[in-house]
């Protein structure tokens, strides 16, 4: 029997206990022996819940118990999760987590500590919820040069964009509805500003490059500026607007960003709708792969945490190598990224030399019309560097919208 | 350095050599040491190809060379692949294969031999080409009770159905075009009759149940009877026709079959088009997962074989446990499977009591109309057992088409 402790009895933590209980026999068969939840750490009380019997408020009880071999950390946030995790690893206990903030920031260091102590730091649930992506990257796609990893990494924003697209509704209205349904937090900033997706693409890019990618270095835009009018144009172009985390290798360097993109049906992510996530991996031999599933939610996320617990239990006392060291990964500068841009601006009418200025700034552009939208000009530029685009855009007043185009 | 031998220098075998050469450095980093192709076995000569220098015609050279630790079997077919594989495993060499016929038939036995000799028998490439699905099933989805595994497992038939759907073309015309493009074999039987998909769903179901599922026990229908008129109805229902391999757990038993199905957009497989494959896994905790990518082709398939070679090289002398024993898996009887059925038959006109007979046979059915199709009746039944359906269908003459409905 292998003893497990769960840190935090919120959504994910209680899900971990539920998965371990519900699928006890299957998990026992997969591990080769039984997994037992010996402690749950939480500051709160849970009167009437059977968890009360194994509830502790003091982390030291868990840390000092040599019978506890594996810890499922489901607290979230940086502290005290960081200190708890590090101390557990130093004591030779393996830690499995869904905590993307912690993994993005301290993943490389915690992997190093795990290795030095013949333990494991596993974080399948930190990206893509229940979707297996971390383990496939480490253990399955091992014969390819990965040249792209990109994805719909946040279910809340994908739900909002899907609803805006299908119902023609405004951002604020859909956000409110999503909050009422529990799909969006009361403070939705981390999701709608792209911060959550940014941490996830930072983790994926760190794994792909084998070195540390700091999330602060990744240009991040959210979806708050996307309007129903943008979706009218998207429809006219048979395109969809998706918040993507993208890392692409160009001339030997990865370029990363989080931003809304216009994509078309030839991109497998086009059909990833609602709260679902999809992660696209492109290898030089295997071509496109996509991993699809529920990117959030109690049970799917807990399923991923427990799959890590199973792995940790099968590898007690043995570190599973993961390529992610603390040296800084040399990712390309945002200014040098090249994209095509969809731009909407006020139509100044025939008296103005606006179209001449557009040609001077962006060369030949592709004008786009959307049904029922008047008094504005909308066009798609050729591929252009981010810094050049920003510089040229300054020449225009009354710009309504700028969205990158990935087709 | 780890020495590898490749059996067969056809499409997949030459792909394996290409992947090992092209991605030499990446693979070296993933394994921890260099992989070297010491021999390629083929009866033919390849004058002018560098492979000629390491070409052997006698398998015994490879078998007796103690330096060869891993064999990539890319010959296909049952013999001599079976004998070669078994002898390699008995000699403690690991074998990695794309050979679905062999895996479906002898997988359990060869895994047993591998285990007894501290070697590995790995077959990621046998299902879904380049898509990681075998390793995810064994190593990632370990915290769930898997209640369904189904998929578009054959790229040739999916290409044909996609073209029929998009162009309104007839089966024979699209098949010919697919043959001309090299997407279909000159003898297309294994693909279009569903035999290939059948072997793949047999392998997946064996892994999910942990015991032997014989492909002969799986009811298999191909796509040769699907017509352009069926697609007119599919369009009218906003549905698509896909050849699916399906295994679903109902009341504790898996029910498997290969057949064309009408599916709708709520099924993630709906959007898997052209030569791509998609495999859907449903777990009781993680809900729906889908794995998507190229299900065939030289490089994608070779990428999967080499990912197994990497795994074998990292685990020399150590068997990686796989749950698939030789005892026969108790899968449910086909006759007991329940489906809804889409049925098209000649419209006998008002003078006939045809509609009364339909009600007597199938109860309330849902009538469907398709634009431009006249003189026939088309309807969808409620859920009904296969044997009952067949029995009732005998009451009708001039049945044009029967397709199962998965919505």
pTM: 0.97
What tokens appear for B188 in the block? 């297309």
Instruction: Write the DSSP assignment of B213-246 as a string of letters.
Output: --GGGSEE--STT--HHHHHHHHHTTEEEEEEEE
Structure confidence at residue B352 (pLDDT): 72
**Region B2-129+298-328: CATH code:** 3.40.50.720
Task: Closest CB to A130: pick one of B289, B291, B310.
Answer: B289
**Cβ(B12)–Cβ(B124) below 8 Å:** no
pLDDT of residue A352: 72
* DSSP letter for each residue of A74-119: ---SSTTHHHHHHHHHHTT-EEEE--HHHHHHHHHHHHHHHHHTT-
Residues of chain A neighbouring B311 (CB-CB closer than 8 A): 139, 142
Is the pLDDT at B351 greater than 80, yes or no? no
pLDDT band at residue B200 using 50, 70 and 90 as cut-offs: very high
| Mean pLDDT across chain B | 97
Please provide the DSSP assignment of A135-150 as one string. HIIIIIS-SS-EEEEE
Give me the mean pLDDT over the B57-67 stretch: 98
The answer to whether A91 contacts chain B (CB < 8 Å) is no
User: Residues in chain B, how many?
Assistant: 407
Q: In this complex, is the C-beta atom of B215 within 8 Å of any C-beta atom belonging to chain A?
A: no
Across B198-209, average pLDDT: 98
What gap in Å lies between CA B222 and CA B160, rounded to an integer?
Answer: 12
Structural fold of domain B334-405: Alpha-Beta Plaits (3.30.70)
Class of the domain covering B134-294:
alpha beta
- For A312-336, the DSSP string reads HHHTTT-PPP---EEEEP-PPPGGG
> For chain A, what percentages of helix, strand and coil (3-state, to nearest 5) are there?
40, 25, 35
Size of the A and B interface in Cβ pairs below 8 Å: 169
| Half-sphere exposure in the Cβ direction for A59 (13 Å, CA) | 15
Nearest to A214 by CA among A224, A201, A227: A201
pLDDT at A225: 97
pLDDT at B350: 74
Phi-psi region of B92 (alpha: psi -120 to 50; beta: other; left: phi over 0): left
Q: In chain B, what percentage of residues exceed pLDDT 90?
A: 97
Q: Where are the domains of chain A?
A: 2-129+298-326, 134-294, 335-405
Strand (E) positions, B301-363? 325-328, 338-346
Instruction: State pLDDT tens for residues B237-293.
Output: 999 999 999 999 999 999 999 999 999 999 999 999 999 999 999 999 999 999 999
The reported pLDDT for the residue numbered B219 is: 98
Question: What percent of chain B has a predicted confidence (pLDDT) above 70?
Answer: 100
Q: What one-character-per-residue DSSP string does B118-163 give? A: T--EE-GGGSSTTS--HHIIIIIS-SS-EEEEEEE--HHHHHHHHH
Q: Which two tokens stand for residue A3?
A: 């003893």
Å from A27 to nearest chain B CA?
6
What average pLDDT does range B348-377 have in this prediction? Answer: 91
pLDDT of residue B62: 98
**B151 touches A at CB < 8 Å:** no
Distance from CA of A375 to the nearest CA of B (A): 36
pLDDT in tens, B371-384: 999 999 999 999 99
Q: Vertex A73, ends A67 and A74: CA angle to 5°?
A: 140
Query: Within chain A, which residues score under 70 in pLDDT?
Result: none
Residue A349: predicted pLDDT = 84
Facing B142 at nearest CB: one of A287, A299, A307: A307
Q: Smallest Cβ distance to A293: which of B130, B286, B323?
A: B286
Q: Which CATH class is domain A335-405?
A: alpha beta
Q: Which residues of B137-169 are buried (b: 16+ CB within 10 A; e: fewer)?
A: bbbbbbbbbbebbbbbbbbbbbbbbbbbbeeeb
CATH domain A2-129+298-326 topology? Rossmann fold (3.40.50)
B388: closest CA among B354, B353, B361, B350?
Answer: B361
């Amino acid at each position: 029997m292998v003893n497990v402790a769960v840190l935090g009895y919120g959504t994910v933590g209680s899900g971990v206990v539920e998965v371990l209980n519900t699928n006890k026999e299957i998990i026992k068969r997969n591990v080769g022996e039984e997994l037992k939840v010996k402690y749950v750490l939480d500051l709160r009380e849970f009167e009437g819940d059977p968890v009360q019997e194994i509830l502790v408020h003091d982390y030291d009880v868990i840390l000092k118990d040599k019978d506890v071999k594996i810890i499922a950390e489901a607290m979230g946030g940086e502290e005290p999760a960081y200190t708890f995790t590090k101390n557990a690893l130093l004591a030779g206990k393996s830690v499995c987590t869904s905590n993307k903030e912690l993994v993005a920031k301290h993943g490389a260091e915690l992997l190093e500590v795990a290795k030095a102590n013949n333990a494991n730091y596993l974080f399948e649930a930190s990206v893509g919820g229940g979707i297996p992506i971390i383990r496939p990257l480490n253990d399955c796609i091992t014969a390819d040069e990965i040249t792209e990893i990109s994805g719909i990494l946040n279910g809340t924003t994908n739900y909002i964009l899907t609803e805006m697209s299908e119902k023609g509704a405004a951002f604020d209205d859909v956000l409110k509805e999503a909050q009422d349904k529990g799909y969006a937090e009361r403070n939705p900033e981390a999701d709608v500003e792209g911060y959550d997706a940014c941490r996830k693409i930072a983790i994926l890019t760190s794994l792909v490059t084998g070195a540390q990618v700091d999330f602060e270095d990744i240009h991040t835009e959210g979806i708050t500026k996307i309007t129903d009018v943008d979706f009218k144009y998207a429809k006219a172009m048979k395109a969809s607007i998706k918040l993507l985390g993208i890392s692409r290798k160009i001339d030997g360097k990865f370029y990363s960003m989080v931003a809304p993109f216009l994509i078309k049906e030839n991109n497998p992510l086009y059909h990833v709708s609602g709260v679902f996530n999809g992660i696209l991996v492109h290898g030089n031999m295997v071509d496109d792969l996509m991993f699809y599933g529920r990117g959030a939610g109690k049970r799917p996320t807990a399923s991923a945490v427990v799959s890590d617990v199973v792995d940790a239990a099968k590898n007690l006392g043995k570190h599973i190598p993961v390529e992610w060291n603390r040296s800084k990964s040399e990712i390309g500068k945002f200014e040098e990224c090249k994209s095509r841009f969809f731009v909407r601006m006020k139509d100044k009418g025939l008296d103005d030399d606006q179209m001449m200025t557009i040609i001077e700034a962006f060369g030949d552009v592709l004008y786009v019309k959307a049904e029922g939208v008047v008094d504005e000009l909308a066009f798609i530029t050729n591929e252009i560097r981010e810094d050049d685009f920003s510089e040229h855009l300054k020449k225009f007043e009354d710009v309504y919208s700028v969205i990158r185009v990935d087709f």
